[in-house]
Amino acid sequence: MTVHNSDINHSLEPFSGSCLCGSIKFEIHRKYLNAIHCYCGMCRKAHGTAFSTHALATPSQVQWTEGKSLLTGYESSPGAYREFCPVCGTHILVHGQSGDDSLAFPAGTINGNPALTILGHMYTDDLVSWYVINDNLPQHHQWPPGFGSNDD
């Protein structure tokens, strides 16, 4: 089936999100919001938590509605960037790590209680002993290429 970009999601409410202080706001125009838990040591430091949850989108599904120019980047590994708000420090975007053009939004930046579809776990070799995975979703050693980000 061929889907033309102009046909995608026009009738649907987008998922919306922001940083803590509200200087940066975005919308994700997807029917479903897929997400992956990541246990890598960089996510652990960047978030200060045992794992981060990345909600995935393609660039054409994302609209920055406020403060895009404020985004401040840090290259956490070669070619992989973490963007944050310089006012409140919220980690709001990860890109370049997946081997394609996927954008990953730390799921806690999405407003309300979005119905995320959790697809699995990645970088599970780096999991700390003080957190235990207690579901049967797939576990991956690294970012599964093409995982979670598509046109739906």
Report the interface residues with Zn ion, using CB under 5 A: 19, 21, 23, 38, 40, 43, 85, 87-88
Closer Cβ to Zn ion, 31 or 45, answer by number = 45
Closer Cβ to Zn ion, 146 or 152, answer by number = 146
- Shortest distance, CB of residue 115 to Zn ion, whole angstroms? 23
- Shortest distance, CB of residue 117 to Zn ion, whole angstroms? 19
Secondary structure of 78-105 in the HEC alphabet? CCEEEEECCCCCCEEEEECCCCCCCEEE
Closer Cβ to Zn ion, 28 or 40, answer by number = 40
- Shortest distance, CB of residue 68 to Zn ion, whole angstroms? 12
Alpha-carbon distance 57 to 36, whole Å?
A: 12
Closer Cβ to Zn ion, 19 or 33, answer by number = 19
φ, ψ for residue 40, nearest 5 deg: -65, 155
Q: In what order do the strands lie in the sheet with 15-18?
A: 15-18, 25-28, 62-66
- Shortest distance, CB of residue 122 to Zn ion, whole angstroms? 7
φ, ψ for residue 72, nearest 5 deg: -115, 125
Alpha-carbon distance 152 to 130, whole Å?
A: 35
